[in-house]
Amino acid sequence: MFDPSTLAALLDRSPLGLYVVDLDRFDTNFSDFLSAFRRFYEKTHIAYSYKTNYLPALCLRVRQLGGLAEVVSRFEYDLARRMGVPGADIIFNGPIKTASDYWEASSTGAIVNIDSAYEIDLLEELVVRPGRTGPFRVGLRCALKADGEVAATTRFGFDVESGDFWRAVDRLKRLSGVVLEGLHCHMIPPGRSPAQYASIARRLVELSRDIWGRGHEDGPGFLDVGGGFFSHMGPELRAQFATNLPTFGEYGEAIAAPFRECFGHNGNVRLIVEPGLALVADAMQFVCRVVDTKRVGTQSRALVGASVYNVRPTKSPRNLVLRRIVNSAVAESPALSAVAPSSASAASLTGLTPSVGGASSALCESGRAITGPTDVVGYTCMEDDVLHRGFEGELRRGHILVFENVGAYTLVLKPPFIQGNVPVFAYRKSWCEPRCVRRAETLDDFMTTYDFAPVDEER
């Protein structure tokens, strides 16, 4: 994380907040997650979930680390291709695909996981079309029962307990030019426990035996168990979950066990996992500044230059870990560790350029102090724009706030609502200065897709 004086200077240029992505942390998460699986099954591959965070700095890093791209739309597929990902390293999921999508995927060698029967209808039409340059590499998405369920409840895939699944298998096997390479199941079981994921993995292995046979050489090319895994969390965030959260190692051991039992430790079948949140959630922080504090009735509130959509766009009831910075020193909520080393605490926040509403950083320590419990509220006109409920420390104008664990779904779900998107700065411990990897959104960016001519005007 940047030292407090650097954060203050960045906020003076970005008064509506900013994100910091810790590339060292992301690298560690990727390595730890992959190692946790390969310890038990060597042929494990990570297909990073693009929808979790589109930041090119992360997507490109995944490619450098040897990961695949997991996409769920043509938009995301094209994004991966734009960043130089070979088609053979793309897993194309999602419920909506067109004939054009399949044709493009066949030309680059991407694997497309079939979600519904209409996609097989498309393939039956495409295999007789002239000009195709490669086979259609496909997998079947499986709808499985979660532990304790009487029947599958997911809306995705083919119900393996019905005839639909086996009819799909038979249709694909009869299609010349279509290669059924594997099975896919992305469902988030209740509790997200290793045992529940192991049950999914075991069922996929069993189905693969029924389809491809039981010999090691006759198995599928891949079995994809999807994503939804918990990320690393500090004790304050973990305490808000009702169960003990599993480690990467526990996921790896449980999920890899059925693969190792069937195919051996160095089996030919690829085990594909699709983490997103597990890799990026704790690799990003959001930083903003307190604009003012007030009391309304019995409620204490601190207004910040940000909105709930920057940190909790799904408006989850859980509080993210929040830290405050006062006079460039870190003031913590209970039991939190420092954002930066104490050697940085002598740096001053005063004397910097103007911030929100013309206020200067020199206003740090000025204005009315307010003590907890305080709700941290945002710039929108929505009553539920609450970034954090019940902060217990003292807050006053100019304090810098740092929200942890904001890497998943914030950048992709933040709408152009009232304010544009804010910049993202990348951090590595070895760097001397921050690097901007996404600039702030401008009005020109926003206007690009609109036609501003009066609709009744003659053209």
Reported as a single tens digit per residue, the pLDDT across 382-426 is 999 999 999 999 999 999 999 999 999 999 999 999 999 999 999
Residues 43 and 181 in one domain: yes
pLDDT score, position 215 = 57
Residues 75 and 206 in one domain: yes
398: containing domain = 4-20+282-439
Q: Is residue 446 part of a domain?
A: no
Among residues 26, 111, 35, the alpha carbon closest in space to that of 63 is found at 26
- Stretch among 68-72, 268-272, 336-340 having the lowest mean pLDDT: 336-340
DSSP state at residue 183 = E
Per the structure, the count of domains in the chain is: 2
Indicate the helix (H) or strand (E) that contains 138: strand 136-143
- Asked whether the predicted pLDDT for residue 44 surpasses 90, the reply is yes
Residues 276 and 325 in one domain: no
Please, how many CA atoms are within 13 Å of residue 401, restricted to the half-sphere of its CB? 33
Residues 309 and 223 in one domain: no
Backbone angles phi, psi at 401, to 5 degrees: -115, 140
What is the C-alpha to C-alpha distance for residues 399 and 402, in angstroms, rounded to an integer? 10
Residues 273 and 374 in one domain: no
327 band by pLDDT with thresholds 50, 70 and 90:
low
Residues 274 and 288 in one domain: no
What's the chain's average pLDDT? 89
Final residue of a structural domain among 233, 256, 281: 281
Mean pLDDT across 146-172? 89
Mean pLDDT across 314-342? 62
- Asked whether the predicted pLDDT for residue 359 surpasses 90, the reply is no
What is the C-alpha to C-alpha distance for residues 99 and 77, in angstroms, rounded to an integer? 14
- Asked whether the predicted pLDDT for residue 336 surpasses 60, the reply is no
Mean pLDDT across 19-45? 98
Residues 316 and 244 in one domain: no
Q: Give the model confidence (pLDDT) of 51-72 as tens digits.
A: 999 999 999 999 999 999 999 9
Which residues touch 73 (CB under 8 Å, ≥6 apart)? 94, 96
Final residue of a structural domain among 281, 314, 339: 281
Q: Is residue 453 part of a domain?
A: no
Q: Give the model confidence (pLDDT) of 98-149 as tens digits.
A: 999 999 999 999 999 999 999 999 999 999 999 988 899 999 999 998 776 7
We report the CATH number of the domain holding residue 340 as 2.40.37.10
Q: Is residue 445 part of a domain?
A: no
pLDDT score, position 216 = 52
What is the C-alpha to C-alpha distance for residues 224 and 216, in angstroms, rounded to an integer? 17
150 band by pLDDT with thresholds 50, 70 and 90:
low
- Asked whether the predicted pLDDT for residue 362 surpasses 80, the reply is no
**Are 183 and 142 spatial neighbours (Cβ–Cβ below 8 Å)?**
yes
Is pTM beyond 0.75? Reply is yes
What is the C-alpha to C-alpha distance for residues 161 and 156, in angstroms, rounded to an integer? 14
Q: Give the model confidence (pLDDT) of 440-449 as tens digits.
A: 999 999 999 9
Residues 138 and 287 in one domain: no
- Asked whether the predicted pLDDT for residue 160 surpasses 90, the reply is yes
% of the chain exceeding 70 in pLDDT: 89
Residues 235 and 345 in one domain: no
151 band by pLDDT with thresholds 50, 70 and 90:
confident
Backbone angles phi, psi at 352, to 5 degrees: -95, 180
pLDDT score, position 133 = 85
Q: Is residue 248 part of a domain?
A: yes
Percentage helix, strand, coil for the chain under 3-state DSSP, each rounded to 5 = 35, 20, 45
Q: Is residue 456 part of a domain?
A: no
Mean pLDDT across 32-47? 98
Type of residue numbered 224: D
Give the pairing type, strands 90-92 and 111-114.
parallel
pLDDT score, position 218 = 64
Final residue of a structural domain among 281, 299, 326: 281
We report the CATH number of the domain holding residue 97 as 3.20.20.10
Angle between helices 23-38 and 248-263 in degrees, nearest 10: 30
Residues 329 and 409 in one domain: yes
DSSP state at residue 151 = S
For the record, the structure tokens of 128 come out as 């007789």
End-to-end, the C-alpha distance of the chain in Å comes to 53
pLDDT score, position 455 = 82
**Are 1 and 340 spatial neighbours (Cβ–Cβ below 8 Å)?**
yes
Q: Is residue 447 part of a domain?
A: no
% of the chain exceeding 90 in pLDDT: 80
Question: How far from chain centre, in Å, is Cα 379?
Answer: 25
367 band by pLDDT with thresholds 50, 70 and 90:
low
Place of tokens 């959509």: 309
Residues 257 and 295 in one domain: no
Place of tokens 């099954």: 41
- Stretch among 149-163, 178-192, 218-232, 341-355 having the lowest mean pLDDT: 341-355
Residues 326 and 301 in one domain: yes
CA distances from 100 to 72, 94, 249 (A): 15, 15, 40
Q: Is residue 448 part of a domain?
A: no
List the beta bridge partners of residue 115.
none
344 band by pLDDT with thresholds 50, 70 and 90:
very low
Residue 76: CB atoms within 10 Å: 21
Q: Is residue 311 part of a domain?
A: yes
What is the C-alpha to C-alpha distance for residues 201 and 45, in angstroms, rounded to an integer? 15
Q: Give the model confidence (pLDDT) of 188-246 as tens digits.
A: 888 899 999 999 999 999 999 999 986 556 679 999 999 999 999 999 999 999 888 99
